[in-house]
A and B are shown apart, each in its own frame.
Chain A
C-alpha cells in the first residue's frame, strides 16, 4: 500500500457513510477494494481523530451496529476530496484499453470529458496532454457498422447471423448467435456468444474476422449470471481443443521467440537454438505464429501439425511458381 493509499481511503469512508443512512462493512470493503478487517481497523483509527483539541465534540463520531457503520459527526469531511490528476490519469489509461467497442469508447470519452472539466486547470492540462500521448493499438477509424449492430444486439438480446473466418478450421462459416458481451483483449475486440446451432455452446468470435452481421428477428433470454472476469486469462482464447505443439527455432530467432512465447516450456539446445512446447488451437493457428519466422522455425510435432504446415508451404511454393 502506498504512503497515501490508506489516508485517501479514510477521507472517502467518512463522507460516504455520513452521506447515507448507514453502510455495511461489506459495502465499504467492496467500494474501497480492501478486506472488512482492514475497514474495521480504519474505523478504529477514525474514531480517534478529529479537530484538535480532541474533546468529544471535536472527534469524528462514528459507530458500528450489526455490521452497519454510521457517522454522526463528520467534522467537515462532508464530501470526498476532489479527484487528483493521478486518479484521472488512471481512468484515462483504462479508457484507452477499452478502445472503441462499438461506440462504447466514444461514450466513455464523453464521461471523461465531464470529469476533466472539474479538475483544476493544471491537472486538467496534465491529463489531457497525457491522453494524447498514451495509446493502445487498434485499427484506427470509425467502428464499422457491423460492430455497432453487434452492440445493439447485445443490449437488446437479439439473435444475429454472421459470416466468419474460423482460424481453427481455416474456413469461412455462417453462424447463428445469441450475443452476450463485447470484450477487448490485447487490443483486439471479441464477441462472447452462444452458438445456436451448436446446442447453445459459448464461443468467442473476433470482430475483425466477421464479414457480415445481420440482426435476426429472434430475441433470447440471456443467462442470469455472466461472469466476464474469467476472460481476463489467455487460456480461454486458445479454445477448448488446445493441444501442445513442439517447434524448433534456430539460434537467430531464439531471443524473439522467448519474448513471444515467454510462458511456454522452452528447452535450450547446446548450439543456441531452442525447442518450444506451446499451446495451439489448430494447425492453422500454429502456422500463423511459426511461419513469420521463415526457415528459422520448424514444427517438430505432433505429426499432423507438421504435415499441415509442410502442405501449406508446398502448395504456396507451387502457386508462386505459376504465372499470377
Chain B
C-alpha cells in the first residue's frame, strides 16, 4: 500500500471515528484530503472509495452504511459511521502470566516456517498487551518445524490459504501428487487441518474420489480457492466428522481391516518409552515374566513397520501369523546384511 493511500485511509478512519452522525460520500468528497474520490469520472472515484472502505473493513473496522430514510439524515443520501463501541478493544483484565502464555502460543504461530501470518500474530499480541505493563515468564517454548525443509515457503503459503478455507468453509482446487501416482487436479471441501511430526495434512471431501481423503501438504503442487471472490460458506462439514480420530491415531490404528488384538513382549529397558512407541491407548501388563503391551490393530502392515526398529526388545507374541511375517522380514534383512549362510549356522547351533 502506498504511503498516500495509508495516509488517506487514516484520515478517513479518523474523520468517521470523530463523528457521531452518518457522513455521506458527498460530504467526504468535499474534503481536499480525499481528492482520490473526486475524479473526473465519478464512478472511478466511487471505486477508489469502495476499495478504501474494503481495506478498513478487512482490518476489522466496524464501518457501516446508514440508509437515507433515517430521520437524522439531512440530505437524504445515507452515510457512513464507525460503531465506536465495536471499534475499541475492551479491557480484558489479562494478567502478566496470561500474556506470557499467549506469547508462547503467538511465537509458535509466528515461527511456522513460511507462514505469512507473522505480522497478524505480532499485532494480536501487541493489542492484547495494551493494558498490561509487565509480561510474566514461562520456561516454555513450542515449535513446529516442517520436515520438507526445501519447501517451507510453498507449504507456508499453502497453509495460510488452507487455514482461511477451513475457517470459512471455502472449496479448494489442489494439484496433488499422491504417494504413488500421477499429478491430479482435485476440488476439495476442507474439513480440517492437522500437524503431525513435521508434516501438515488436510482432511476433506475430495470431489474427484467422491469420498473423504487426507492430503499431505508437501505433495500439493498448487492450492487455490475455487471461488476467490466469494467468502460465504460453500459446504457443510458432516456432523460426525472427528478431526481427533485423524490427528491422534497411531499408524496401526488407521482403518484397513477389522481390528484384532496384538500382544507384544517388551524388554525392560523399553518400558519407560511405552508411551512414545505405542501411545497411551496401549494396555500395559506387568508380571513376573516381564512386561507386555496389548494393542488393537486395524492396519497390520503399519504395526509390523512400527515394531521392526526394536528387534527382539519389542517382540510380537500374538497372533502367530503376524509373528511369522515379522520373522520373514528380519530373515530377509539378515540375508541383506550378513548372508543367509550365517543365519542358518546360528539357528542350527
> A residues bordering B, Cβ < 8 Å?
1-12, 15-16, 19, 31-33, 45-46, 48-54, 60, 75-91, 93-99, 101, 104, 107-108, 111-112, 114-115, 118, 120, 126-127, 129-130, 132-141, 144, 154-155, 163-165, 167, 170-172, 180-188, 206, 208-212, 226, 228-229, 231-234, 255-256, 259-260, 262-263, 287-292, 294-295, 298, 306, 309-310, 312-321, 324
Contact = CB atoms under 8 A, between A and B. Distances in A.
Contact of A80 (B93, B118, B130): B130
A107 B218 CA distance: 33
B347 interface: yes
B309 A292 contact: yes
Contacts of B108: 94, 97-98, 184
Contacts of A233: 145
Nearest to A28: B126
A188 B329 CA distance: 29
Is the interface on chain B under 10, 10 to 19, 20 to 34, or 35 or more residues?
35 or more
Query: Which 5 pairs between the two chains have the least Cβ-Cβ distance?
Result: A94-B105, A211-B272, A94-B109, A87-B124, A320-B327
Interface stretch (B39-47, B70-78, B241-249): B241-249
Given A54-B33, A95-B105, A3 B1 contact: yes
Given A7-B6, A165-B273, A314-B334, A184 B143 contact: yes
B192 A320 contact: no
Contacts of A141: 280
B10 A49 contact: yes
Contacts of B147: 259-260, 262
Contact of B126 (A32, A91, A132, A310): A32
A45 B6 CA distance: 9
Nearest to A309: B337
A210 B1 contact: no
A317 B327 contact: yes
A287 B306 CA distance: 11
Given A89-B163, A309-B337, A137 B55 contact: no
A137 B142 contact: no
A88 B166 CA distance: 15
B337 A10 contact: no
Contacts, number: 410
A78 B117 CA distance: 26
A257 to B, nearest CB: 12
A133 to B, nearest CB: 4
Nearest to A163: B272
Given A263-B149, A292-B308, A294-B332, A184 B142 contact: yes
A49 to B, nearest CB: 4
Nearest to A8: B123
Prevailing SS type, chain B contact patch: helix
Contacts of B183: none
A98 B141 CA distance: 7
A7 B1 contact: yes
19 contacts: A5-B119, A8-B123, A51-B14, A51-B15, A90-B124, A91-B106, A93-B109, A94-B106, A126-B167, A127-B167, A185-B142, A185-B145, A187-B144, A231-B143, A255-B179, A259-B148, A263-B150, A306-B337, A314-B342
A90 B106 contact: yes
A225 to B, nearest CB: 12
Contacts of A184: 108, 140-144
A53 B166 contact: no
A228 to B, nearest CB: 4
Nearest to A117: B92
Given A51-B18, A118-B92, A292 B140 contact: no
B117 A90 contact: yes
